[in-house]
Amino acid sequence: MKSCTPSSTKLARASQIFLVRSYRSIRVKPKQGFQRVMDTIDSLDDRELLDVGVFLWAGKYPISRWVSINTTRQYLTARKFIRRALRENRG
């Protein structure tokens, strides 16, 4: 029995999703997520975004750093999966 690594399992699952949905419908989710992040950022004032120690869970970093880390990586990963699925389906 061939074992799958977690990353190959995720890729296989993502590829199956891409086969069922159109490219346009897939692009809607990241845009909706982006809008939610922007709405959340807009609801915070400058002190909450830029000062260290405002939120205890953020540790020694400002919230703006956590926003950057937790948003950029997800979009880069989604873009990678989309490009790979499109490349595999073209033949």
Domain-embedded: residue 1: no
Domain-embedded: residue 72: yes
Other CB atoms closer than 10 Å to residue 26's CB: what's the count?
18
Report which of residues 11 and 40 the model is more confident about: 40
Q: Is the pLDDT of residue 91 over 70?
A: no
- Domain count within the chain: 1
How far apart CA 42 and CA 9 sit, in angstroms, is: 36
pLDDT per residue as tens digits for the range 44-85? 999 999 999 999 999 999 999 898 888 777 778 888 888 988
Tokens 């540790």 sit on residue:
59
- Cβ neighbors of 34 (< 8 A, separation 6 or more) are 71, 75
pLDDT per residue as tens digits for the range 26-44? 778 878 888 998 999 999 9
Domain-embedded: residue 76: yes
pTM of the model: 0.50
Domain-embedded: residue 52: yes
Domain of residue 17: give its range.
7-90
Domain-embedded: residue 2: no
